[in-house]
Amino acid sequence: MADLSKKQEAIRNFIASELAAGRSCPTHREIAGYFGFASSYAAACHVRALVRKGALIAEGGKARALLLADAFQPVLRAAVVEIPLFGSIPAGFSRDREQEAGECVPVTVESIGFKPTRNTFALRVAGDSMIGKHICDGDIVVFEHGPEPRSGQIVAALIDRKNTLKTFLVKNGKPFLKAENPKYPDLIPSEELVIQGVFRALIRKERE
């Protein structure tokens, strides 16, 4: 069987982690959203390549039906890394946030689908404004500081000196932030909009 590229291995491991957690196989749209692809077509191409290379098995005629090929089971490794957790971020109305240092979130590279860098950080979600993106109160969101966000990506942002978690959009050349819950309004900067990090992964602990 052919070797996998780093991106293909990350996608395969993301699918494996979702199946191992008892969830349905992610759709092309969900894969695209997780990895920040511009469209679901890019995700579909990667999935087709994984099937062609024998890393995944597609069950014909069934939606969301991908199986892991036994020969690729060793791809999953349990290397644990720690991502700094800088307190909480509002998923609701923006507010001032003090950075809390000293706490870390242990994760495996395979569970989040990428290798963290020195610019990777995490924030705990407070609020329900992003439930349309399946981001809930108490979840931990992993971000990468530095990349310029594309329209439609989820970001941690500083808008008029207040922090918030929202979807970054551009309309008529002007950026603004959109909640994924209809009870919250769009946020349009009156002074400044600073992107602190672009969404990379979601960590959800089991709730009692």
**Structure confidence by residue, pLDDT tens digits, 81-99:** 889 998 888 886 665 555 5
CB 196 within 8 A of CB 145: yes
Domain 6-75 has CATH 1.25.40.80: no
- pLDDT bin (cut points 50, 70, 90) of residue 75 is very low
**Structure confidence by residue, pLDDT tens digits, 24-70:** 788 888 888 888 888 888 888 888 888 888 888 876 545 456 777 66
pLDDT of residue 74: 44
* Pairs from 94-100 (Cβ < 8 Å, separation ≥ 24): 94/159, 94/160, 94/162, 94/163, 94/164, 94/187, 95/162, 95/163, 95/164, 96/161, 96/162, 96/163, 97/162, 97/163
Q: Which two tokens stand for residue 195?
A: 């992107």
Which CATH topology does 80-203 take?
Umud Fragment, subunit A (2.10.109)
Q: How far apart are the first and last CA of the chain?
A: 42
State the Cα–Cα distance between residues 94 and 44, nearest whole angstrom: 36
Backbone dihedral angles phi then psi of residue 92, each to the nearest 5 degrees: -175, -130
Domain regions of the chain by residue span: 6-75, 80-203
Is 80-203 the same fold as 6-75? no
Hey, which residues are catalytic here?
129, 166
